[in-house]
Structure 1
Amino acid sequence: MGESRRVYSTAEGDLRTPADRKPGRRTAPPTPGDGIVRVSRETSGRRGKTVTVVRGLPPRDVSEVASDLKRRCGSGGAAKDDVVEIQGDHRAKVAACLEAQGYRVKLAGG
C-alpha cells in the first residue's frame, strides 16, 4: 500500500491522505507582513533546548543574516523556511544586532 490510498473518516465524512495526518508535522505560525522582525525564544519540540527564533526577515536576507548572527553569538543555528534559528537564548544580542542593521525589531513571547 502506497501513500496514494485514501483514508475515510466516519465522523465528518472528510477525505484525508496519510500525509495530512503525520504526527509531529507542524508549520510555523504565520508572520504578519508588517515589516517588523520578531525575535522570540522557543523550547517546545526541541527536547528542552532553548532556541532563539527570528521571523519576519525579507526572504532574500535570511541566509546572510543567519550567518552573521551565528558568528556574533558564537553558536550554531539554521536558516529554513524564512526563519532563522540560533541555538541558545540570545534574544537581547540578536535584537541589538538587527536594530544596528536597520531592521524594526520586537521581542516576542516570553
Structure 2
Amino acid sequence: MASLFAGTEFYIPPSCDLCGKPETDCDCTAEQKAAAEREKQTQAKRLPPEKQTARVRVEKRKGGRKATVVSGLTAEANDLSALLGMLQAVCGTGGTVKAKEDLVELQGDHNDSIREKLKQLGYRVK
C-alpha cells in the first residue's frame, strides 16, 4: 500500500526505531528488533513506585538467624534484582530474590534501613 504523501515533497520515508535510519538503509538484525520489542513490552508492564506498597518484615530462621523480607512487589512490575542490589548496598549484606514468590530476602535484621531506602525510592511502605 502506498503512502498518502508518496511522490510529493511532504513524503517522509519510515525509519527504524532502533537506529533511526530509513528502513531501506537499516542494518539492524531481526534478533535485535525482537529484543528491543521485548524490552519495550517489559517496560510497558512496569508500575511506578508510587503505585506500589512494599511490606517489610523480619523473620526468624533456624539457628536464631534473622532475615529481612520485602514482599508486595511483583516481579512483573519491578526489576527485583536491581532493587535487591540497591538494598544490599545500603545494608552491606547478602540476599536473594525469589521471583516465583515475589520476595526479596536480605540476611540479618535491617528493617529500619530498608524501610528508609524504599521510601527514598518512592515506594509506600507498611
TM-score tier, shorter chain, comes to: 0.5 to 0.7
Q: CA deviation at 1:74?
A: 0.3
Moved over 3 A (4+): none
Partner of 1:104: 124
CA distance in 2, matches of 1:66, 1:72: 10
SS of 1:75's partner is coil
Q: What's the C-alpha RMSD, in Å, of the aligned pairs?
A: 1.6
CA distance in 2, matches of 1:103, 1:35: 6
CA distance in 2, matches of 1:61, 1:38: 16
CA distance in 1, matches of 2:122, 2:96: 22
Q: TM-score if structure 1 supplies the norm length?
A: 0.60
Partner of 2:107: 87
Q: CA deviation at 1:48?
A: 1.7
CA distance in 2, matches of 1:58, 1:83: 8
CA distance in 1, matches of 2:79, 2:119: 14
| Equivalent residues, number | 72
CA distance in 1, matches of 2:83, 2:104: 8
CA distance in 1, matches of 2:87, 2:93: 9
Q: CA deviation at 1:58?
A: 3.2
Q: CA deviation at 1:36?
A: 1.5
SS of 2:122's partner is coil
Q: CA deviation at 1:99?
A: 0.5
User: Hey, which of these two has a bigger chunk of helix by percent?
Assistant: 2
**How is 1:26-105 mapped onto 2 (pairs within 5 angstroms)?**
35-44=52-61, 46-59=62-75, 60-81=78-99, 82-105=102-125
User: Hey, which of these two has a bigger chunk of strand by percent?
Assistant: 1
Report % sequence identity: 42
Q: TM-score if structure 2 supplies the norm length?
A: 0.53
Paired letter, 1:35: Q
CA distance in 2, matches of 1:48, 1:40: 16
